[in-house]
Each structure stands twice: as structure tokens, then as C-alpha cells.
Amino acid sequence: MMILRTHQRRFARLCLWMALVACVLTLTLGACSSSGDEQDSPASPSPTSPPTIESLYLQRSRTDPALDYVQVTLPTVTLSTDLAELPVQFYFFLADPHGDYTYLLYPANSQGESGDHFELAQFPLELSVQADTTAVTLWIVAVHNTHYAAAEKAGLEQLADMLGSGFNQWLAGGDPNDDPLAAVVSASDGKLYEWFAGCEVVGQLVLPISAQSGWNIPISSIHSPDNHLSVVYSATFIRDGGIWSSPVTSATAAVAP
């Protein structure tokens, strides 16, 4: 009887050991299978994830290839030294009273670049002018993004277009004594509120360019009222009607400020 009970206990232990081994093997094989599935089927990006902009800049060029145009070049943009450590993103707009505008967004592949000196001569703004166009207006906004996800969520091209069209409306009927950015945001029906709340404006200026000068302005400079932003610029009238660059262009080449 004692021998029988000993064999029963050994048999029970063996069964328990085999069950544990089977359980461990099952878990191991399941983990390997799960890992293989994850490697074979990479996770899809969230549908709410904003698209990644890889270009250094975004630019909307001339609006009518059959018309002559004004080219505004910005060799140097300077920020005050107390802002040099902040990553800053620049929005440049050139608009006319007819509702046309072009823009340059720099940089477009990040929330901003740090520095107090930016050379942007290779990114001129160009805008077609009609025979009755008396002036075009340059608008520059420099922002430090504190919540860049808001800009990415809106879409950078869409954001630039909303600002550009809003600036055109402000030129057509806004109070010239108002802050143009505040006026554009206020008139956006809430579309620009989240973006505006997620950035700090570090510089802004408005510069009219008159046809009385023949659209040609030699190298000149202008400062924002608070002296945080200064720009060296020139304007050239070009009789073209020839090759027209695409409405939105971009480049990935790195440019050091």
C-alpha cells in the first residue's frame, strides 16, 4: 500500500510538471507569434496625426503668368538679441488690393530656428500686378510657437492661406491703425484661434510698396515699431509674361541663419 501511494504521488508531480511545461511553451509561442505579426504589419499612423512637413520652406508664387510682376527680395531679417535663443518661424506675405497674395513660410520643417540673423535672399516674394494696381503690401509676422501641434493640425499651407486671405480682407476694409494679425485672427470665425493661442508674436511689420516708385526700390531697411524685427529689402519690377513657377513650391536644402 505504501509503495502504491508513493507511485501515485510521483505520478501526480509528473503530471503537474508536464502541465507547467505545456503552459510555458504555449505562452512563449504566443509571444513569438505576436511579435512576428507586429513586425510584418507595422502600425498605421493615427488618422489624427498631422502630416510631417519635410521642406525647409513653403512658398506660393505669382498668381497670373500673363502679367508683369513685382519681386521683393529679403536679403537679411534680423531679430533683437534678446530673442536670439527662441526658435522663431516667419510668415511673409505680399498682397494687393485685388485680393491676390503670395507667401513664404520659413522654416516649414520645424517649429522655428534660433538666431538673430537670417539670410533669405534666395526666397524672393513675387506678385503679379495689374495695370490699375497702385500698391502692394508686404506683411511679416515672426512667431515663437509654444504649442506647434496647433499649427500642424491646421496644416501649414492651409494656415498660410487663411492668414493671407485674411490680410487681403484687412487691406480692403480694415482699420489701418489696428494690429493686422489681431484683426485677421478676430475675423477668422474661430479658425485661427487655436493657432494664435499656441504662439507668441515676437515681431510684426507692414510695408506698403507704391507704384509711384515704378515698383523699383533699392536696398532699404525697415524696423518694427517695437524694434524686435528689422528687415533689409529691395523691390524690382519685372516685365515677364513668360515662365510661371508653380503656385506652391518647396525645398529641402538646409540654410543656416
- Output the average pLDDT for the chain: 79
- How many Cβ atoms sit within 10 Å of the Cβ of residue 139? 24
Q: What CATH number does the domain located at 57-251 have? A: 2.60.40.150
d(CA 176, CA 95) in angstroms, rounded, equals: 15
pLDDT tens readout for residues 127-148: 999 889 999 999 999 999 999 9
Q: Given a cut of 80, is residue 89 above it in pLDDT?
A: yes
DSSP helix/strand/coil, 114: coil
Residue 215: name the closest of 129, 106, 97 by CA: 129
Let me know how long the chain is. 257
Residue with the bigger pLDDT between 234 and 29: it is 234
Residues 6+ apart with CB under 8 A from 255: 56, 119, 120, 122
According to the model, what pLDDT value does residue 113 have? 96
167: burial class by Cβ within 10 Å (0-12, 13-18, 19+)? Answer: buried
Q: Given a cut of 60, is residue 246 above it in pLDDT?
A: no
Is 166:103 a contact under the CB 8 Å cutoff?
no
According to the model, what pLDDT value does residue 36 have? 44
The one-letter code for the residue type at 60 is: R
DSSP per position, 165-185: HHHHHHHHHS-TTS-HHHHHH
Q: Given a cut of 60, is residue 242 above it in pLDDT?
A: no
Across residues 213-229, what is the average pLDDT? 93
According to the model, what pLDDT value does residue 248 have? 41
According to the model, what pLDDT value does residue 205 have? 95
The structure's pTM equals 0.74
